[in-house]
Amino acid sequence: MLSSFPQDSSIQRKHQRTIDLNADLGEGGAFDADILRIVSSANIACGGHTGDVQSMRTAVQLALANQVAMGAHPSFVDRENFGRSPQQPDHAGLFTQLCEQVDQLRQIAKQEGGVLQHLKPHGALYNQAAHDAALGALVIRVIQHCDPQLSLVALAGSPLVRLAQAAHLHVKQEAFADRRYNSDGSLRARSFADACIEDDEEAVQQVWNVVAQHQLRSVSGDSIKIHADTLCVHGDGAHALHLLKAIRGKLIAQGFIISAA
């Protein structure tokens, strides 16, 4: 979904910067339809942590109506804990489960006249695969098996980014607006009370630090260098819609184009 900048001036576009704004959707959040008018990419839950055929189809239809890039958001099969509890699963079984999730969403997208453009693991799978080489390699194999043209959305600066690039995948490095970071660049575990940023002003400032200065501040006060191609707000958050509006407004006011391209 593009910003309101004029699209007929190639000179102007050369001086504008592009950033992708994504949200995890199809997770039962109350504002999915409104969020899909703001973001440029949607990561659609496909049954592992939540979601079913109907929620996937609805999310796909809304994404297509708003010209939002669609991606699969597969997870450990753990609906009880919303896919956020660390797991040590059998890799062969996990590979099959992830492929089934991605393929089901791909089929629904095809039925609705669309295609998936990326894959972003969810929750504990996302965090573990970012630093566990064997699990990261499994996620890469899922993409290679299901659709090698899919981009991988991965934690910016993580070992998974380098692993996927070495496997010749297109990688979109991701930073989070509404999560705090440890000094090593990993996300603060949700078991800590300060893991999530609840204040919109603080979240917008973190986004601006990332896109303008390529850095952010850890919970310990350390400065972390970071490059991000895409920015995430969790769509199931209570203030997700308001935060996304604030972030989009800030970025556009500063000359950014919001686009998945």
Within 8 A by CB and 6+ apart from 231, the residues are: 19, 20, 21, 22, 174, 175, 176, 177, 207, 210, 211, 247
Look up the CATH number of the domain holding residue 154: 3.20.20.370
Q: Is residue 190 part of a domain?
A: yes
Q: Is residue 156 part of a domain?
A: yes
Task: Report the Cα 65 to chain-centroid distance in Å.
Answer: 20
Confidence grade of residue 6 (pLDDT, cut at 50, 70, 90): very low
Four-residue CA torsion sign, 59, 62, 65, 67: negative
- The boundaries of the domain holding residue 230 are 10-258
pTM given for the model? 0.92
pLDDT (average), residues 118-145: 98
Q: Is residue 150 part of a domain?
A: yes
Give the per-residue pLDDT at 10: 39
Report how far residue 258's alpha carbon sits from residue 232's, in angstroms, rounded to the nearest whole number: 13
pLDDT (average), residues 99-104: 98
2: left (phi over 0), alpha (psi -120 to 50) or beta: beta
Q: Is 180 helix (H, G, I), strand (E, B) or coil?
A: coil
Q: Is residue 3 part of a domain?
A: no
Q: Is 45 helix (H, G, I), strand (E, B) or coil?
A: strand
Q: Is residue 154 part of a domain?
A: yes
Q: Is residue 4 part of a domain?
A: no
Encode pLDDT of 168-224 as tens digits: 999 999 999 999 999 999 999 999 999 999 999 999 999 999 999 999 999 999 999
- Specify the number of domains making up the chain: 1
